[in-house]
């Protein structure tokens, strides 16, 4: 991250974004970022021998260690009030005329005279960086990969709802409808997040202060102040079930109501006829069978196929076991390091392990005469119920309880504790103590 100061005159450029992203593969969507600053020019010239001198010596082309391309101009920005800043962001386009129409209408700006049939330059307004659209060679597609970015333009908050309505009316994509984000100690900021015809994400944000901020290009972008739910990509969850799937349903509802900033992108089961699979199928969520069932009536996946399907086809960020009865093979555990959770209906390490599942757990709890039981969310390793404990909830056991009364009381707690733990993981609020114990931090 560079450049952090008063928001009235400063910008933040974030080139990494950790939540739910494991690999930063650069696509060809962002072409370059231009910085206009004599001071930056001099320092790049002094310190980066690989920088390439262009335009008769007035510009340096430099690649960041991650491959992002920057153009540094030997002139201070003409953006009012800002001596050295990002003055332009260049995006690649597959159909320049189409993109030009889209962005001109959106930003209310006509193409500058320097535009040609290979590139269009638009000036969104005072205090904002220019946008350059560059035509890709014929037949080339825009690839966003996993390090895709989002740029932000500032405009009066009152205009945002109209921008959203116009985008919808024009048949364009609205990724996040109008939302107001409260930032403690500051005025709240309103945003609408859109995608252009090539899928370039962009955020139209209300002015936070009197002076508009620059356009902010960033990879897996967020604004300077908050990694808020509306601004980061939703994580992709895969849930494993073997039974009714009430925990899966609780997770699904939490994704829908925004408590978990994620989507359930697939459901896996060893029992294709179970309630959880029926529920998923009804919602149109893709379902997979693992392992290959003994009955020839159903086909299923090998572990290699499952890993590939989750990683490549479904691009899963996290795997959540919710009543899945089979042991998770090592290959799958290793494919999702620190990213796979299970919920168990007891206070582990008590009443867990191979064969201790379902009503057997609660029968054992009642028979043992323990006064308290509960539920545990833990990371998954290659054994039953033995991974690092992430969260626990305690439930009383009364002297007259039957095992089914205990089961009901525990399950009720599971339905709120599992979504809470998953939200913490997805939000990046889980840190690891040096001795390997994961700790949840409460959202500020
Ligand atoms: C839950 O009690 C969970 O703790 C255990 O299996 C049960 C699944 O119930 N791992 P459901 O299918 O989510 O209703």
For residue range 196-248, list pLDDT tens digits in order.
999 988 877 776 432 222 233 333 222 222 233 345 789 999 999 999 999 99
Write down the catalytic residue from 200, 261, 344, 378: 344
Active site residue 344: yes
**Band of pLDDT at residue 444, cut at 50, 70 and 90:** low
CB distance 409 to 372 below 8 Å = no
CB distance 442 to 421 below 8 Å = no
| Nearest residue to 30 via CA among 69, 71, 61, 88 | 69
CA 430 to centroid of ligand 1, rounded, Å: 23
CA 405 to centroid of ligand 1, rounded, Å: 15
**Band of pLDDT at residue 376, cut at 50, 70 and 90:** very high
Strands (E), 116-198: 119-122, 130-135, 149-155, 173-181, 189-195
Residues 6+ apart with CB under 8 A from 318: 20, 235, 236, 237, 238, 262, 336, 339, 340, 341, 422, 425, 426
Q: What is the pLDDT of residue 238?
A: 98
CA 439 to centroid of ligand 1, rounded, Å: 23
Residues 6+ apart with CB under 8 A from 152: 202, 203, 204, 205, 213, 215, 216, 221, 223
Q: What is the pLDDT of residue 185?
A: 57
Radius of gyration over alpha carbons of the chain, in Å? Answer: 26
Q: Given the DSSP bridges, would you call strands 389-396 and 372-379 parallel, antiparallel or unpaired?
A: antiparallel
d(CA 366, CA 372) in angstroms, rounded, equals 10
The answer, yes or no, to whether residue 2 has pLDDT greater than 50, is: no
Please indicate whether residue 385, judged by its CB atom, sits closer than 6 Å to ligand 1.
no
Q: What is the pLDDT of residue 246?
A: 97
The answer, yes or no, to whether residue 312 has pLDDT greater than 50, is: yes
Please indicate whether residue 247, judged by its CB atom, sits closer than 6 Å to ligand 1.
yes
The answer, yes or no, to whether residue 279 has pLDDT greater than 90, is: yes
Q: Of the residues 247, 362, 376, 378, which should be mutated to test ligand 1's pocket, given the most ligand atoms within 8 Å of the CB?
A: 247
Q: What is the pLDDT of residue 204?
A: 79
Structure tokens belonging to residue 83? 């001596």
Write down the mean pLDDT value for the chain.
85
Q: For residue 245, which atom of ligand 1 is closest to its CA?
A: 12
Please indicate whether residue 245, judged by its CB atom, sits closer than 6 Å to ligand 1.
yes
d(CA 390, CA 281) in angstroms, rounded, equals 30
Please write the tens of the pLDDT for every residue from 284-297. Answer: 999 999 999 988 88
Q: pTM for this structure?
A: 0.53
Please write the tens of the pLDDT for every residue from 70-108. Answer: 999 999 877 655 555 788 899 999 999 999 999 998 888
Q: What is the pLDDT of residue 443?
A: 58
Please write the tens of the pLDDT for every residue from 165-203. Answer: 888 888 888 887 887 765 555 566 778 889 999 998 887
Please indicate whether residue 344, judged by its CB atom, sits closer than 6 Å to ligand 1.
yes
**DSSP-assigned states of every residue in 371-414:** SEEEEEEEE--SSTT-SPEEEEEEEE--TT--HHHHHHHHHHHH
Residues in the chain: 444
Structure tokens belonging to residue 278? 């029926």
Average pLDDT over residues 3-30: 64
DSSP state, 199? -
The helix/strand count (H/E) of the chain reads as: 9, 21
Question: How far does the chain reach from its first CA to its final CA, in angstroms?
Answer: 21
Q: What is the pLDDT of residue 218?
A: 31
Q: Which of 15-24, 152-161, 325-334, 355-364 has the lowest mean pLDDT?
A: 15-24
The answer, yes or no, to whether residue 156 has pLDDT greater than 90, is: no
Please indicate whether residue 345, judged by its CB atom, sits closer than 6 Å to ligand 1.
yes
d(CA 235, CA 176) in angstroms, rounded, equals 15
Q: Rounded to the nearest 5 degrees, what angle is found at the Cα of 217, between the Cα atoms of 95 and 78? A: 95
The percent of residues above 90 in pLDDT, for the chain, comes to: 58
Q: Which of 107-121, 344-358, 363-377, 391-405 has the lowest mean pLDDT?
A: 107-121
Burial of 131 (0-12, 13-18, 19+ CB in 10 A): buried
Average pLDDT over residues 141-169: 83
DSSP state, 148? -
The answer, yes or no, to whether residue 361 has pLDDT greater than 60, is: yes
Average pLDDT over residues 383-397: 97
């Amino acid at each position: 991250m560079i450049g952090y100061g008063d928001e009235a005159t400063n910008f933040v450029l974030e080139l990494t974004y950790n939540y739910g992203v494991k690999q930063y593969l650069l696509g060809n969507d962002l072409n370059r970022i231009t910085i206009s600053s004599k001071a930056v020019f001099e320092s790049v010239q002094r310190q980066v021998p690989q920088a390439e001198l262009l335009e008769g010596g007035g510009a340096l082309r430099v690649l960041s260690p991650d491959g992002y391309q920057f153009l540094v101009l030997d002139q201070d920005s003409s953006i009012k009030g800002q001596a050295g800043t990002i003055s332009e962001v260049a995006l690649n386009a597959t159909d320049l005329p189409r993109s030009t129409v889209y962005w001109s209408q959106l930003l209310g700006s006509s193409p500058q005279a320097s535009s040609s049939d290979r590139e269009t330059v638009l000036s969104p307004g005072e205090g904002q960086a220019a946008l350059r659209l560059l035509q890709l060679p014929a037949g080339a597609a825009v690839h966003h990969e996993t390090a895709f970015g989002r740029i932000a333009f500032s405009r009066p908050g009152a205009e945002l709802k109209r921008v959203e309505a116009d985008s919808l009316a024009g048949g364009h994509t609205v990724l996040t409808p109008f939302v107001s984000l409260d930032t403690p100690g500051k005025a709240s900021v309103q945003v609408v997040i859109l995608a252009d015809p090539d899928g370039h994400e962009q955020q139209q944000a209300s002015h936070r202060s009197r002076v508009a901020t620059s356009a902010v290009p960033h990879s897996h972008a967020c604004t300077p102040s908050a990694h808020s739910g509306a601004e980061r990509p939703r994580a992709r969850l895969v849930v494993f079930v073997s039974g009714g799937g009430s925990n899966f349903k609780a997770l699904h509802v939490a994704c829908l109501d925004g408590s978990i900033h994620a989507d359930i992108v697939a459901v896996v089961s060893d029992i294709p006829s179970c309630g959880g699979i029926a529920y998923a199928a009804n919602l149109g969520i893709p379902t997979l069978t693992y392992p290959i069932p003994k009955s020839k009536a159903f086909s299923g996946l090998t572990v290699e196929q499952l890993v590939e399907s989750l990683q490549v086809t479904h691009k899963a960020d996290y795997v959540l076991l919710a009543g899945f009865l089979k042991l998770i093979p090592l290959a799958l555990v290793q494919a999702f390091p620190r990213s796979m959770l299970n919920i168990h209906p007891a206070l582990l390490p008590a009443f867990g392990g191979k064969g201790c599942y379902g009503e057997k757990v609660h029968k054992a709890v009642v028979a043992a005469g323990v006064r308290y039981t509960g539920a545990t969310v833990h990371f998954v390793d290659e054994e039953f119920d033995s991974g690092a404990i992430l969260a626990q909830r305690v439930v009383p056991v009364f002297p007259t309880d039957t095992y089914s009364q205990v089961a009901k009381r525990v399950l009720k707690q599971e339905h709120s504790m599992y979504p809470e733990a998953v939200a913490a993981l997805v939000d990046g609020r889980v840190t690891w103590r040096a001795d390997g114990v994961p700790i949840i931090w409460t959202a500020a």
